Amino acid sequence: MSERIEAVLFDIDGTLLVTGGAGAVAWQRAFREMHGIEANIDEHTRAGMTDPEIATIIFREVIGREGSVAERGEAIAGYLSHLQQAVDESEGYRVMPGIEELLPRLAESGVLLGIVTGNIEAAAQIKLARGDLNSYFSFGGYGSDSSDRTELTAKAIERGVEVAGKSLDLAATIAIGDTPRDVLAGHGAGIKVVGVATGNYSVAELEEAEADWAIADVRSGFPA
């Protein structure tokens, strides 16, 4: 599986790390504080959704109406205000197997490293910081760029061009994620995708989603 790799775009939740449910806790606290309701995010959302999508779904399925743009923005701000504490206190936070070895190896070999995630950018930085992963990533595409994962993946590539100071060869740029949505988004943006079964989906399910590579974790045959 040896290929020339110029840039790698990493998803966060389920790929680089898990927060041990800290994100769901922060959403729940935000909706309780702002709307007086108990919003169990896990009952209404799926892995791979963007933060704007989550806010929209909770308004629709829990509050029972379409939230306005302003209300959804306030909900995201409320979530963010609770996220740092939720991450700090989470006993289940952990960096995924092999990541702490892979990132420095890629960086030292000159591979450009970026983020592609449904998290808004500020939330992404909070989650990465606890695992001391921030310093490896100089750009990214985030849920604050778009609620559509393909569009935010394209935005990450665009920012990678700015950081590199030259065009990126899409054939040498790959994304890595743990859900079929990550696969679909990467392919939609014109790049290959490594599906890693460290989240809620198996290797077989990621193969079925047409990941270019489907592996158990980054220690088992990462293509760079």
**Using 50, 70 and 90 to split pLDDT, how confident is the model at 2?**
very low
Name the least confident of 34-43, 155-164, 167-176: 34-43
Confidence (pLDDT) at 56: 83
Query: Is residue 106 located within the same domain as residue 165?
Result: yes
Identity at 5, one-letter amino acid code: I
Confidence (pLDDT) at 1: 41
**Using 50, 70 and 90 to split pLDDT, how confident is the model at 120?**
very high
Asked which of 89, 118, 148 is the last residue of a domain, the reply is 89
Query: Is residue 64 located within the same domain as residue 99?
Result: no
Task: Please state, rounded to an integer, the average pLDDT across all residues of the chain.
Answer: 91
* Residue-wise pLDDT tens digits, 139-155: 999 999 998 999 999 99
Q: Is 61 part of a structural domain of the chain? A: yes
**Tokens for 28?**
């729940």
Q: Is residue 129 predicted with pLDDT exceeding 70? A: yes
Asked which of 55, 89, 123 is the last residue of a domain, the reply is 89
Q: Is 46 part of a structural domain of the chain? A: yes
Query: Is residue 34 located within the same domain as residue 74?
Result: yes
Query: Is residue 186 located within the same domain as residue 124?
Result: yes
Torsion of CA 195, 96, 102, 139, to 10 degrees: 80
Asked which of 57, 89, 121 is the last residue of a domain, the reply is 89
Q: For the chain, how many structural domains are there in total?
A: 2
* Domain assignment of residue 41, given as a range: 22-89
* Residue-wise pLDDT tens digits, 11-27: 999 999 999 999 889 98
Q: Is 32 part of a structural domain of the chain? A: yes
Identity at 213, one-letter amino acid code: W
Spatial neighbors of 219 by CB under 8 A, at least 6 apart, are: 97, 98, 101, 102
210: CATH:
3.40.50.1000
Query: Is residue 78 located within the same domain as residue 32?
Result: yes
Q: Is 1 part of a structural domain of the chain? A: no
* Residue-wise pLDDT tens digits, 27-71: 889 888 887 887 777 766 666 678 888 888 888 877 778 878 898
Count the helix, strand and coil residues of the chain and give each as a percent rounded to the nearest 5: 50, 15, 40
Query: Is residue 14 located within the same domain as residue 29?
Result: no
Query: Is residue 49 located within the same domain as residue 141?
Result: no
85: CATH:
1.10.150
